[in-house]
Amino acid sequence: MLYFNLLHRPAENPSQRASFALQQRMAHDLGLKVTLLVDYQSLCDEETVAELKTYASDFGDELGVWFMNLPPAADSADGRHEPFIWLYADDEKRRIIEQVLTRFKATFGVDPVSVGSYHLDAESLRILKELAPSIQIAVAGCFEEGVRVYHGCNNSWYLFSEGMPWAPWYPSRTHSLRPAQDEADSLGIVAVPHLSRDLVLSYEGRNDFFATHPANVQRAMANDGMNNPYMYNLVDQHRLQADFNDGFAYVHIFVGPAWMSNDSSIQDTDDVTQGLYREFLEYFVELRKLGQATDMKMSEFAAWYRDNIPIGKPQVALAKEMLYGTGKHYFWYLDSFTRLLIDPTQGGSIGDLRPYAAQIESHTGADAKALWYGSYPYLIQSQHRTGNSYHYADGSRTTLLVTHKDETLDLANVRVKVAEVTRGENETTLRLTPATLTFSDEASVSIETTYRFLGNGKILVERKLLEGEDVQAQEYVKACWGLTEYPEDLRNVILTVSGKTSEEMRYEYRSREIRSEAVTAVAAQIPQIQTKISLQAEGTCESGAVMEGYLFSPYFTLTLNGVLRAGKVMRTWLNIEKI
């Protein structure tokens, strides 16, 4: 079943009132449930307030708060110039939230049950829940909205919120983008992303072009007038996730009125723009008639989610590229300890890894250490920090290196696809299609990769040699830590090898290496993000090593070496832990 929320924002100026009224009329004519998130400026406008009360009384629309157009400071000498709540210092966040909530209750007679912003950090959510315990749900972030979007806009959009879930989650008290591990860790609300994104293109490029908002798709020129199959394929991509998540799928639609008329960033006429929105809503109505979708107000969905999705339950997504015809697959996995992306276009390597197990504490604002960086740090991000040797040297990634007669081939050079996803009570299993490697002497091997996600930061990687003679195989992890594509300081990272001899070294950018025979584990401890990442052999392997990088290649590398035997499975644990 697809569950979807339809959210509208009132007009921000009088010239947009007709567009807002048109959006509302479309939704109500189709019998769709609507949640209206209202900014402070609209709360102060008598005509807008009267309209909102009519929508609530006549159609049952839910009224909540949208944290834009924030109230001015009481003291003009202490002006408020920040446009977004997440950029204020904590004391000012509280004053603004109190002012907005007071105005909302004075206007409508009740506290809100739903709120939203493009990003809400942990401190903002904590204050909101403290001041208005009635709040059940929040639009709390934009999935993968970070430097890649920043590069494509006007360089004044200070929203960094990568490393979050792509679907509803229970935000943690310490970092709003991290799913809570349990009730004590939870902020006590349900969070949803701002729009539902393309789960391929949000990783590869600008995600503000590819989301459940017709204007985004139009700005990407992915439509040809009223011919816009991509928009429906995007919804169907999210519907597909019900196959892997116990029948649950979610889509979020959140639009204001400005783009509906005279939007210079859209190449289409107003008739086309408005027609696309009407058709988009009609698609959900058709799905509802077929019993394949249900619309809910935000608070209704929050109640359903809390009743049906326990805290800590893993979620997965199989994403198929559907705009350019490349046939690419990506696989996302998320629980309270890790979030990662498996990239079958690079042989099933890990392209993105976020260490939720570290329970990093962070929030944004003028008095916060993070300032504007609301993202959850990564250990691997092959789009920000290159990947399979796109540039000078290897970047942030994993792979299997296979050697035959002194010739080494990289599994990441072979494109595979997702073959099967299975879910159990305590395990999620991803099996990829076999990868065939052919050496210069025409000998070839066929290798099948399986990932088993066991929770608690434990991932079992299995490599099975389906065809070919025995080969040397090296599990390879090259990582760092970061928030953007720019390097962070790796000094004080501790690299260790446990085996016949056990050694450790502190990272100093000197290209050093330590290795041992009969290795059981290799690891890196990263105090900057309270994280330990390790490769652990099932039993022992022939040898293993850790390597530090240098300033022009600021990574660390972990390797385990063994023999991949015909018909046998080589098993390696990838572990993410808090230190």
Instruction: Report the chain's mean pLDDT, rounded to a whole number.
Output: 94
Q: Which of 185, 49, 63 is nearest to 135 (CA)?
A: 63
Is residue 387 over pLDDT 80?
no
- Which of 76-80, 148-152, 186-190 has the highest mean predicted lDDT (pLDDT)? 186-190
What is each CA distance from 468 to 348, 399, 475, 564, in whole angstroms?
20, 19, 19, 10
| CATH entry, 328-578, from 2.70.98.10, 3.40.50.300, 2.40.100.10, 3.40.600.10 | 2.70.98.10
pTM over 0.85, yes/no: yes
**Amino acid 257: pLDDT:** 95
Query: Considering the domain 2-316 in this protein, what is its CATH number?
Result: 3.20.20.510
> Which residues partner with 514 through β-bridges?
546
What is the share, in percent, of the chain residues with pLDDT greater than 90?
Answer: 89
Digit-coded pLDDT (tens) for 320-363:
999 999 999 999 999 999 999 999 999 999 999 999 999 999 99
Is residue 388 over pLDDT 80?
no
Please answer whether residues 294 and 216 qualify as being in contact, where contact means their C-beta atoms are separated by less than 8 angstroms: no
**Amino acid 359: pLDDT:** 97
For 390, the token pair is 């796109």
Domain boundaries, the chain: 2-316, 328-578
What is each CA distance from 304 to 3, 62, 148, 247, 309, in whole angstroms?
10, 16, 34, 14, 8
Digit-coded pLDDT (tens) for 490-536:
999 999 999 999 999 999 999 999 999 999 999 999 999 999 999 99
Digit-coded pLDDT (tens) for 228-247:
999 999 999 999 999 999 99
66-97 core/surface letters (b: 16 or more CB in 10 A; e: else): bbbebbeeeeeeeebebebbbbbebebbbbbb
Number of neighbours of residue 391 by Cβ within 10 angstroms: 8
Token pair 């079992």: residue: 460
For 184, the token pair is 């004590």
Is residue 375 over pLDDT 70?
yes
Which residues have C-beta within 8 Å of that of residue 145, sequence separation ≥ 6?
Answer: 118, 119, 159, 160, 161, 162, 194, 207, 208
What's the rounded Cα separation, in Å, for the pair 20 and 10?
6
**Amino acid 90: pLDDT:** 95
Q: Nearest 5°: CA angle at 472, between 406 and 522?
A: 115
